């Protein structure tokens, strides 16, 4: 770490800082400039908390030189991770094509949507059985019944399934039915939940919070990794913006930024990022062009009766169209969309 002292820091303050650093078994290397004094801390950065240093009188700024995420860091793990979701690969040139309705609904509908998305090229099927809704009066999901419907539709059409978990007490039951656990944007810093999914053996789809920095996202991934679960896929799904013409602001640059910092695969979710079906194709293609390892799109065959998020869903025929364009883009970029392996599904 590097400490920049305040203009006018006294010798007593400087001595006090050095004392504190040395008491921790670290060395401080002093450098006096014309206006400022700098201290380079030499030794194991983990031994010392950035906050404690910042709170010492006379310290103006503390600059860490190592990222606070160790397991998620590309430095620590220079080979890109490939996450295997019951046979479907994401990362390392393999694209995850996740599609399905926002909420799990009745079995016949789920079957129809699974069939259509599979035919269009999707390799992972999604649907929410536990829905984090902003209103306590809105549909909250079908629960365990929904998990079963989802799994059945996925199995019938040979697609592993992805579903959200919102309650640490439900991680076990959801893991029984789902091939991949989703942690939603609103729970990205629900550290209790992250710790629980970190103990699961299921791969995790971790969505970026609406005001989470890239470092925040990687620290949340670190929670999961530090519990022993190394199968994490990150998802950019739009951050809070100031223009109400889209639901969120799609931060496509997050894809190459993350690729420079972490070995974990990164996918994009243009459905939540924009909230507008007419913008999904352009943003899905933009995500792939930026290097994303997959695309998550919500699909519903009758949006006006959808239990949630109908207005942002693509119709199956619209999904088929954008999936075909994504396939061509993948080819140009030298990426593969592996067909799901029916036998491998949960």
Which positions from 327 through 346 interact with a second copy, judged by CB under 8 A?
Answer: 328-329, 332
Q: Would you count residue 119 as binding a second copy (CB under 8 A)?
A: no
Nearer to a second copy, 11 or 51 (CB): 51
Q: Would you count residue 76 as binding a second copy (CB under 8 A)?
A: no
Query: Quick check: 147 and 178 in contact, CB under 8 A?
Result: yes
Among 128, 303, 316, 340, binds a second copy (CB under 8 A): 303
Q: Would you count residue 250 as binding a second copy (CB under 8 A)?
A: yes
Query: Quick check: 341 and 135 in contact, CB under 8 A?
Result: no
Between residue 273 and residue 302, which ones bind a second copy under the rule CB under 8 A?
Answer: 273-274, 278-279, 282-283, 285-291
Nearest approach in angstroms of CB 265 to a second copy is: 15
d(CA 159, CA 173): 19
Between residue 38 and residue 67, which ones bind a second copy under the rule CB under 8 A?
Answer: 38, 40-43, 45-46, 49, 51-57, 61, 63, 65-66
DSSP bridge pairs for 236: 268
Mapped onto helix, strand or coil, the DSSP state of residue 183 is strand
Q: Would you count residue 10 as binding a second copy (CB under 8 A)?
A: no
The C-alpha R_g of the chain, in whole angstroms, comes to 23
Query: Quick check: 13 and 50 in contact, CB under 8 A?
Result: no
- Tell me how crowded residue 70 is: count the other CB atoms within 10 A of its CB: 14
Per-position x/- string for 161-180, each x denoting binding to a second copy as judged by CB under 8 A, each - no binding? -----xxxx-----------
- By CB under 8 A, the count of residues binding a second copy is 105
Region near a second copy per CB under 8 A, out of 81-89, 107-115, 213-221, 229-237: 213-221
- Alpha-carbon dihedral of residues 138, 140, 145, 148, nearest 10 degrees? 110
Q: Would you count residue 20 as binding a second copy (CB under 8 A)?
A: yes
Q: Would you count residue 309 as binding a second copy (CB under 8 A)?
A: yes
Between residue 223 and residue 242, which ones bind a second copy under the rule CB under 8 A?
Answer: 223, 226-227, 239-242
Torsion region of 25: left, alpha or beta (phi above 0 gives left; psi -120 to 50 gives alpha): left
d(CA 204, CA 192): 15
């Amino acid at each position: 770490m590097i400490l920049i002292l305040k203009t006018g820091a006294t010798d007593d303050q400087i001595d006090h800082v050095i004392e504190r650093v040395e008491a921790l078994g670290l060395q401080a290397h002093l450098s006096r400039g014309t206006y400022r004094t700098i201290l380079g801390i030499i030794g194991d950065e983990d031994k010392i908390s950035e906050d404690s240093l910042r709170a010492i009188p006379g310290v103006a700024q503390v600059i860490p030189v190592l990222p606070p995420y160790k397991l998620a860091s590309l430095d620590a793990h220079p080979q890109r991770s490939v996450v295997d979701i019951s046979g479907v690969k994401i990362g390392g040139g393999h694209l995850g094509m996740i599609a399905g309705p926002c909420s799990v609904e009745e079995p016949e509908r789920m079957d129809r949507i699974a069939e259509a998305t599979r035919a269009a090229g999707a390799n992972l099927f999604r649907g929410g059985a536990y829905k984090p809704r902003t209103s306590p009066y809105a549909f909250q999901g079908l629960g365990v019944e929904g998990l079963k419907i989802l799994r059945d539709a996925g199995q019938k059409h040979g697609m592993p399934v992805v579903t959200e978990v919102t309650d640490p007490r439900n991680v076990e039951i959801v893991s029984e039915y789902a091939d991949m656990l989703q942690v939603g944007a609103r729970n990205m810093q629900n550290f209790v939940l992250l710790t629980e999914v970190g103990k699961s053996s299921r791969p995790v789809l971790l969505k970026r919070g609406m005001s989470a920095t890239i470092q925040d996202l990687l620290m949340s991934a670190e929670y999961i990794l530090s519990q022993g679960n190394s199968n994490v896929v990150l998802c950019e799904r739009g951050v809070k913006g100031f223009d109400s013409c889209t639901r969120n602001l799609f931060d496509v640059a997050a894809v190459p930024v993350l690729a420079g910092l972490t070995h974990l695969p990164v996918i994009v979710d243009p459905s939540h990022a924009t909230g507008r079906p007419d913008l999904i194709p352009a943003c899905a293609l933009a995500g792939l062009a930026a290097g994303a390892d997959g695309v998550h799109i919500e699909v519903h065959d009758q949006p006006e009766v959808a239990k949630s998020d109908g207005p942002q869903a693509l119709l199956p025929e619209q999904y088929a169209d954008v999936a075909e364009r994504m396939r061509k883009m993948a080819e140009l970029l030298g990426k593969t969309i592996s067909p799901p392996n029916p036998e491998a599904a949960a």
